Structure 1
Amino acid sequence: MAEPGTRDRILDATAELYRHQGMAATGLKQISAAARAPFGSIYHHFPGGKEAITAEVIRCEGVRYGAFVGAQLAGTDPATGIPQLFENAGALMASQDYREACSIETIALEVASTNEALRQESAAVFESWLAGLAAWFGQLDITEEQCRQLAVITLTALEGAFVLCRTLRSVEPIVIAGRGVQAAVSAIIADGAATG
């Protein structure tokens, strides 16, 4: 396989640094060193500097992480499979010694009130993930509104659990969150059956 080009190395290094330490703690010199790229190449590929790199990282990581989660969802029954998905995510975090986190979540927390352009980029990624989750829940005999509700519940529980797991150095939050989401799924299915 060909060695990634300088632009790709800059994006990959930035995404990894953001996952580990967040955006604010990451400087352009650190990105340059981690990417094994001359400092000037950052502005060559990203004339807008750190904001331009960050916007592209958000888009790329959104696609990458969305595809990863989509692969986990494929072949999983949304009526019963939520706890296992959450447990798998917890096991992956534990195997990485809780160092890795969702880079979109990390960036969104930092920019939601301070940088409107990056907030919008983050929001677009979250909306794409919510649409994917809602489509997955669409396999159930429930309304589009209920699919959206379950998508929001799932993403909120997952992202919140990531923060607690990393902080507590424990998979307990994500396991419990998965059970909570499963309870919400079961309740909506039961409600549909009762009113149907």
Structure 2
Amino acid sequence: MTSDTRTRLLEASAQLFREQGYAGTGLKQITAAGEAPWGSLYHFFPGGKEQLGAEAVAHSGGRYLKLFDIVFDGADGDFVRSVRDFFQLSVEALERSGWADGCPIATVALETASTSEPLRHACAEVFVSWQEAIARRLRAAGVPDGRAADLATYVLSAFEGALVLSRTAHDTRALKVTGGIVAETVRAALP
């Protein structure tokens, strides 16, 4: 058993949580999807599903943060375009996946925030890291510190809410409309 097995279990968990939620995902499903022997799950995650879930949330959060950086770095400093691109990527992912490809962090957070402190904490840490990344980019674009932090909270909240609405409705209108409004709000905040 190698760390590759551990990574496959984390990635399989994140994918399944994103598609069917934490409670709807069984450990046997995870090991099958991760092409891992059953015993490897408890070898790498002796705390069971809750430990695996918390680590999968952190792993997935880091991967999405890298995607965020790729989108924002690819826009040559045009923060408004980056916001629009990020929303559009989610529109395309939702449509391509048949409405299954939502945010793995929000999916787990909505299910577990009141029932599992380790999972709530893992989700909260990811959301904070995303807010900080957005605020850092806004500050680099000239937005003052306090305003950048508030605007980052707004951007992330609007994105996550629009993603939930679009996924639930099987209609990307909420993401498209919200992406446009968020982009214009950001444009107005830039010096």
TM-score (norm. length: structure 1): 0.88
TM-score (norm. length: structure 2): 0.90
C-alpha deviation, 1:79, in angstroms: 4.3
Contact kept, 8 Å, 2:9 with 2:36, in 1: the verdict is yes
Indicate the structure (1 or 2) with the bigger Cα radius of gyration: 1
Distance 1:38 1:171, change over 3 A: same
Q: Deviations over 1:100-158 (max 9, x none)?
A: 11111111111111111211111111111111000111133321111111111111111
Equivalence map 1:143-182=2 (5 Å):
143-182=144-183
The RMSD of aligned alpha carbons is: 1.9
Equivalence map 1:33-182=2 (5 Å):
33-76=32-75, 77-79=78-80, 81-182=82-183
The one-letter code sitting in structure 1 at the alignment partner of 2:25 is: T
Contact kept, 8 Å, 1:13 with 1:35, in 2: the verdict is yes
Contact kept, 8 Å, 2:68 with 2:86, in 1: the verdict is no
Q: Counterpart in 2 of 1:28?
A: 27
C-alpha deviation, 1:97, in angstroms: 2.1
The one-letter code sitting in structure 2 at the alignment partner of 1:111 is: T
Contact kept, 8 Å, 1:79 with 1:140, in 2: the verdict is no
- Select between 59-68 and 96-105 the one with higher mean Cα deviation: 96-105
Whether 1:9 and 2:8 are equivalent positions in the alignment is: yes
Task: State percent identity of aligned pairs.
Answer: 38
Q: Distance in 2 between matches of 1:94 and 1:60?
A: 24
Unaligned stretches of 5+ residues in structure 1: none
Q: Deviations over 1:64-122 (max 9, x none)?
A: 01101111111431245433432232123212222111111111111111111211111
